[in-house]
Every structure is written in structure tokens, then in C-alpha cells.
Structure 1
Amino acid sequence: MKLNWKLRFKNKATLAAIAATVILLAQQLGFKLPDNVSDVVNTGLTLLVLLGVVSDPTTQGIGDSERAMTYTEPK
């Protein structure tokens, strides 16, 4: 599985999904967060997953295409 990580980290939606996942992981590890923060993060992550932010639906499988691997800026 090859991914163009530089390009993915330039995408704001991907960064939002990563941040939400980190907060969710902290919650599951037992760190106490205010209830409203936990609920907002859980809902936000669910919406991002539903929109396909976490995986790229335009490529076959879960990796990036050869063309996407050559990008330095999102197209």
C-alpha cells in the first residue's frame, strides 16, 4: 500500500479526520474529556468517515494511484 503522505497532510479534511481520531483514541484510553467535546468529536469523525475523507473512493483498493503519487499539490 503506497500513499502520498505529503499530499494527504496538505488536505484540511484529512487533518481534521486525524485530529478527531486522536481525540477519540485519547477518550478510549481513559483520558477524561468534557462530555460535550467527546460527543462533538465522535459526531465529527462519523461525518468525515461517511463523506469518504478517511479513504479515497477515487482509487481502487486503499492506496493512492500512480498518478496521485506524483502530485505535490492537491488537484
Structure 2
Amino acid sequence: MINLKVRFRNPIFIAQLILAILTPILAYAGLTVQDITTWSALGQILIDAISNPYVLGLVVVSVWNAVNDPTTAGLGDSSNAMTYTKPKSGDSDD
């Protein structure tokens, strides 16, 4: 199991997840963020991506890499991480 409630309280995780979704889509389309100047352009790019199984596969792998914690065995968070109610700070006192 993954402690998504706590992960979504971490702005770094949210940015990582957004980039994990957008980067493969933009790369496949040969675009950069600067090329998306309107909401309708972004919507069209996302619709094109959803209709392409290869791009969806790239997004799934990218999101998997963003969500998976390689420091634990298996697919979920550690039992210790599952007890967190907020993201753990980098301080050793936490």
C-alpha cells in the first residue's frame, strides 16, 4: 500500500507527478512547455496522448517511476511510512 494522502501533501511529489505525466507526452509530440500557449492547445495535446497507446504506456512507466519507492522491498511504502500523517522532514529528529 502507498501512503498517497501524505504524498499529496508534499509539493515536490505533486510537481514530480505532473512532470511524470507531461514530459513523455511533450517529448513524443516534439514539443516543449513554451509551445503550449493556450488551454485548448494543452487539451488537444492531452486528447492526442490519451488516444495513443504508446504514449499512454510511456506515461504509465513514468508515473510508476515517480510513485514507486525504491528504498523499500516490494511495491508499497514501508510500515513506518504508512504511519506518517504529513511528509517527514529531512531532519534526523523527526
- Unpaired segments of 5 or more residues in structure 2? 36-61, 89-94
Q: Which has the higher contact order (CA 8 A, sep 6+)?
A: 1
Q: CA deviation at 1:18?
A: 0.8
Q: CA RMSD in A?
A: 3.1
Q: Does 1:68 align with 2:84?
A: no
Larger Rg computed on CA atoms:
2
Equivalent pairs, count: 59
Identity %: 37
Q: For structure 1, which runs of at least 5 residues remain unmatched after alignment?
A: 38-48
TM-score by structure 2 length? 0.45
**Residues of 2 paired with 1:57 and 1:34: CA distance?**
29
What is the TM-score of this pair, normalised by structure 1? 0.53
- Write the distance in 2 (CA, Å) between the matches of 1:59 and 1:36: 37
Aligned partner of 1:9 in structure 2 is 8
Q: Quick check: 1:22 aligned with 2:21?
A: yes
Distance 2:69 2:23 in 1: 21
Match of 2:52 in 1: none
